[in-house]
Structure 1
Amino acid sequence: MGNMIEYVKMAIHNILANKGRSFLTMLGIIIGISSVIAIVSIGQGTTNQMNSEINDVGVGQIYINCSEDAQKAEEWITPDDLEDLKALDEVDGVSVASTLVGETTTGKGNFSLYLTGDTEDAKMVNNDSMKRGNYFTDADVAEARNVCVISDMDAKRLFGTDDVVGMDIDVTSYDITKTYRIVGVTEQKENGTFVSYTYEGMPSYITVPYTSLSDVMEGIEEFYSVTIIGNKSVDSKVVTEKALHVLERNHQSAGEDYYQVQSFQDVLKVMNQMMGMVTAFISFVAGISLLVGGIGVMNIMLVSVTERTREIGIRKSLGAKTSSIMMQFLAESAIITAIGGIIGIVLGIAAAFGICSIISQSMEMAISPGISPGTILIATAFACAVGVFFGIYPAKKAAKLSPIEALRRN
């Protein structure tokens, strides 16, 4: 232990004696460590923000579509299927979202319109919060009432105000005009970092009971797809299995693969994997500078061995062991990389916060860097390993010098 402390003291003395050269040697390590930490932290922060926003939109949702075989056999999802699915304890709601294109004329002018026929559970899929009035009810769907819900932003576009509960809106679709009574106004979500809810010039939306569209479009009660809102306390696989069992039982299609399932969590998992791969690739490229830095450490240590040949010869002639000489130079290379690693960690964290702050301000969003202690430890350990690895050759070269030959050199 005493010898090791002595080696460290000697290494620090030699580093301080050549400050400029030592700093340039550390530079590759500093750049590599700081780049890896900054990139991984920004990537993790971006992923966290994306997950947060997407989870707000569709956590717990499962999508079931009719396959080509089901369409050929005309085994569509029916209102009876919706009732049976909703009756499952693991299901909080179901949505069908059948959308028609239409138009309307108000005192503010002519507008294109998307008319979405859905169940009363559409508010759960869209994560809607009511600003005025109420969402249409199960009774409205059962009795095919001509009522609708509109967002506050669309209400202002169409009528100049969001105080529109009780007002009527005339909608023309497929040359049929229907009048809907507005019963509720939802609060338009703010556009997020990755999820945009609006764009300039987009049509307005109103949501109505799907049953109210039966005289506008034939087959409106035969659905291609259904969105299931699963209970968040239940595993999505359990919800999926029970939902498929209901559909296969109702349509006597067990083993036919009539219905295709896509879980929202599966989509999120794929997106996270893609983000992880991109971050890992960029980090790998940045990590190459660590190897370059390691080669720099080896070159400088070789120069140091050449410069201190007489010192090595004197030490060996006085009885210094080969292992002692080797440990002296290994300690010096390890300390150089360790100091470079510490500086790189500080700069990497600072860069991550700085870049995230610039992105947040320029794009009006909030991204916080995902600083991971694990990433810091791995990067630091790798840097130290690089220093030791590339220091082995110069250390061995110094340790194998013959005392007589070393003393001969000037």
Structure 2
Amino acid sequence: MQQIIKSVSIALQNIKANPLHTFLSTLGIIIGVASLVAILALGDGLEQTGREQIETTTSVQMMTITPKTVDIVNDVRVPRDTVYQFGIAEARALEERTSQWGYTELLANSSRLATLNDSSLAIYIQATLENVPHFAEAEIEGSYFSKSDVENAAKKTVLTKPLAEKWSSNVKELIGQSITFENESYEIIGILNDESRGAQAMIPMRSYQEYVKGSNSPNIVFKSRRVEDLPEMRSAVENWLDQNYEEGKEAFSVFTYEGRVQQLSQGILVFKLVMGAITGISVLVGGIGIMNVLLISVTERTKEIGIRKATGARKKDIVMQFISESVTISIVGCIIGWIVGVAGVFGLVEIINRFTDLGFQAALSVDTVGVVLIVAIIVGMVFGTYPAWKAANLTPVDAIRHE
């Protein structure tokens, strides 16, 4: 360790003695590392922005479990002998199993003719539990029905804003009134400001099962709080299916948007690898510059090397000294390149945001720091080997006589 510290000290002294020469010789690695930092930071930023765009345009955090009604045998769809159905009890059990990762909802849909204030409209009815506000992430005028409303089959409903606007220009005044379908009246307790749901009226699941004739079978839907939690949530659900049904998860269809996120990640990885390979040329040039610095150093310090060997220094001591110097110079170049790269990439981000409305941000991760450090060490060791070998093989007598 003392030898390494001493070698690093000598390397820093040489850099101070010839700063311009060392800077010019390591300019390649500075440019290469700056480019590499920029590529990795932009790649991480692109992946983060892409995830955000997918989250806002698709239900990437959603997962749907649907009982299979057919099997595919020899590419032919064959009706299943056993088709399972989900109910409130199954949804509650899965909710307890997956609550640490997100939310569980039981959904069923139908359409009916509804009447409000002597005005009739065809509407979509969606039966739910009480978790829709977590799924919609939209504002609610009034309130949503509670867990007790679900269990007690309360005759309450929440209208989406598009449906409410078909009955009144002032949607707030609808709260407290009632709509009627299939001879049952439901009190409007809230307006859900969610344009994506269309003209819908949400009612408690048990009310749907008891009062809506010919109701469709419900599906269970999950939403993770974070995209990263979805695989764990899926695994927990599939394990529950395996434990509670004879055919296990094979009797159900599990649908997620994970594939889109994986495609995005793979695309960004290809971008990083291709651009990293291109910037690697600059790093290679920088390594050659470091080798040049050390070869000059060997020539200038030949007599010093001869004296050290004559006083007992071994070959490995000389090799360690010059490789330590090479790695030190490489790390210094990488630090400068890191600073240049970070400054450059944040400047580029500002330009990108001036011409787009994506709110793009570069992302500097721990992995980027690790990659740069590894590059510095490898370049220093690889390109410092030949000068170190050349110095170690000088004979003491010839080295001392050198002028």
TM-score (ref. length: structure 2)? 0.65
- Alignment gaps of 5+ in structure 1: 189-196, 249-253
Contact 1:64–1:260 (8 Å) recurs in 2? yes
Question: 1:291, 1:386 within 8 Å by CA — same for their partners in 2?
Answer: no
Partner of 1:220: 215
Pick from 142, 160, 163 the counterpart of residue 151 of structure 1.
160
> In the alignment, residue 247 of structure 2 is paired with which amino acid?
G
| Identity score, percent | 17
- In 2: Cα distance, 1:403 partner to 1:238 partner: 70
Determine the C-alpha separation between the residues in 2 that align with 1:15 and 1:255: 73
In the other structure, the counterpart of 1:95 is: 106
Give the paired residue count: 373
| Gap regions ≥5 residues in structure 2 | 72-77, 227-231
| 1:14 equivalenced with 2:18 (yes/no) | yes
Is the alpha carbon distance of 1:385 and 1:375 closer, same or farther for their aligned partners in structure 2, counting shifts above 3 Å?
same
Distance 2:351 2:112 in 1: 41
Counting only pairs closer than 5 Å after superposition, residues 342-353 of structure 1 correspond to structure 2 as 342-350=335-343, 353=346
Deviation at 1:185, TM superposition (A): 0.4
> Match of 1:295?
284
RMSD of equivalent CA atoms? 5.5
Structure-to-structure mapping, 1:8-157, within 5 angstroms: 8-36=12-40, 38-39=41-42, 41-42=44-45, 45-46=48-49, 49=52, 63-69=65-71, 71-73=79-81, 75=83, 77=85, 81-86=86-91, 88=93, 90=96, 94-98=105-109, 100=111, 115-121=124-130, 123=132, 126-127=135-136, 131-135=140-144, 148-152=157-161, 155-156=164-165
CA distance in 1, matches of 2:31, 2:38: 10
Q: Does 1:207 align with 2:202?
A: yes
Deviations 1:126-161 (A, max 9, x none): 34666333435776898796x642234664576433
Is the contact between residue 356 and residue 368 of structure 1 (CA under 8 Å) also seen in structure 2? yes
- Match in the other structure for 1:192: none
1:95 counterpart letter in structure 2: L
Q: What amino acid is aligned across from residue 14 of structure 1 in structure 2?
A: N
Distance 1:169 1:384 in 2: 73
* C-alpha contact 1:294 1:387 (8 A) present in aligned 2: no
* Residue equivalent to 2:175: 165
Contact 1:41 1:371 survives alignment (8 Å): yes
Match of 2:191 among 185, 188, 191: 185
Residue type of the partner of 2:130?
Answer: D
CA distance in 2, matches of 1:213, 1:157: 23
Partner amino acid for 2:20? Answer: L
Q: Quick one: distance in 1 between partners of 2:376 and 2:115?
A: 66
**Partner of 2:12: helix, strand, or coil?**
helix
Q: Is 2:110–2:215's contact at 8 Å kept on the other side of the alignment? A: no
Q: Residue deviations 1:381-408, cap 9 Å, x none?
A: 3322222212212432455467899999
* Alignment partners' CA distance in 1, 2:110 and 2:19: 72
- Counterpart among 372, 375, 387 of residue 379 in structure 1: 372
Kindly indicate whether the alpha-carbon contact (under 8 Å) linking 1:97 and 1:122 is maintained by their aligned counterparts in 2.
Answer: no
Q: Distance in 1 between matches of 2:160 and 2:286?
A: 63
Pick which of 345-354 and 330-339 moved more. 345-354
Match of 1:330 in 2: 323
Shift, 1:376, TM fit = 0.9
TM-aligned CA distance change 1:372 to 1:402, over 3 Å? same
Q: 1:205 to 1:385 in 2, by over 3 A?
A: same
Output the CA distance in 1 between the equivalents of 2:192 and 2:60. 15
C-alpha distance 240-23 of structure 1, shift in aligned 2 (>3 A): closer
| 8 A contact 1:301–1:394 mirrored in 2 | no
